[in-house]
């Protein structure tokens, strides 16, 4: 059973602070990792993808991957109230016959307090 675990939160941070979101996964052969943001009542939208160990930065967002520890995180610098949403961690692994299945965690709800 492939599992993706996230702390459901809510995680509250003051405006301007760094928000740190964490995710662990159960399968060592996973190759690609994604962070999606989902506003209430909306569909998920991709904000970051990461495929190799280390850090990947995109604007205020940094994704960190440690395959040995089966851990992926998302840092949001200078958090804004508009960042308040649920953040979904997703892991892609092979499900056989050349296909890949994206498995999502339950999401962490982030609230940025003005």
Partner 1 sequence: EAGVAQSPRYKIIEKRQSVAFWCNPISGHATLYWYQQILGQGPKLLIQFQNNGVVDDSQLPKDRFSAERLKGVDSTLKIQPAKLEDSAVYLCASSLNRGGGETQYFGPGTRLLVL
Q: Which is nearer to partner 1, 7 or 49 (CB)?
A: 49
Give the integer Cα–Cα distance in Å for 15 and 87: 17
- Is 104 an interacting residue with respect to partner 1 (CB under 8 A)? yes
Pairing status of strand 32-38 against strand 61-66:
unpaired
- Is 100 an interacting residue with respect to partner 1 (CB under 8 A)? yes
Contact pick of 1, 69, 82, 99 for partner 1 (by CB under 8 A) = 99
* Contact in structure between 52 and 114 (CB atoms under 8 Å): no
Give the integer Cα–Cα distance in Å for 38 and 46: 9
- Is 51 an interacting residue with respect to partner 1 (CB under 8 A)? yes
Q: Which is nearer to partner 1, 23 or 112 (CB)?
A: 23
- Is 44 an interacting residue with respect to partner 1 (CB under 8 A)? yes
* Contact in structure between 25 and 32 (CB atoms under 8 Å): no
- Is 40 an interacting residue with respect to partner 1 (CB under 8 A)? no
In the range 55-84, which residues lie near partner 1 by CB under 8 A?
none
Which structure tokens are listed for 3? 């599992």
């Amino acid at each position: 059973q492939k599992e993706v675990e996230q702390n459901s939160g809510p995680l509250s941070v003051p405006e301007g602070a760094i928000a740190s979101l964490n995710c662990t996964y159960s399968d060592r052969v996973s190759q690609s990792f994604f962070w999606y943001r989902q506003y209430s009542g909306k569909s998920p939208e991709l904000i970051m993808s990461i495929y190799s160990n280390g850090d990947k930065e995109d604007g205020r967002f940094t994704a960190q991957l440690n395959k040995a520890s089966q851990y992926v995180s998302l840092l949001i610098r200078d958090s804004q109230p508009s960042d308040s949403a649920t953040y979904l961690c997703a892991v892609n692994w092979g499900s056989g016959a050349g296909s890949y299945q994206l498995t999502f965690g339950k999401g962490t709800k982030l609230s940025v307090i003005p």
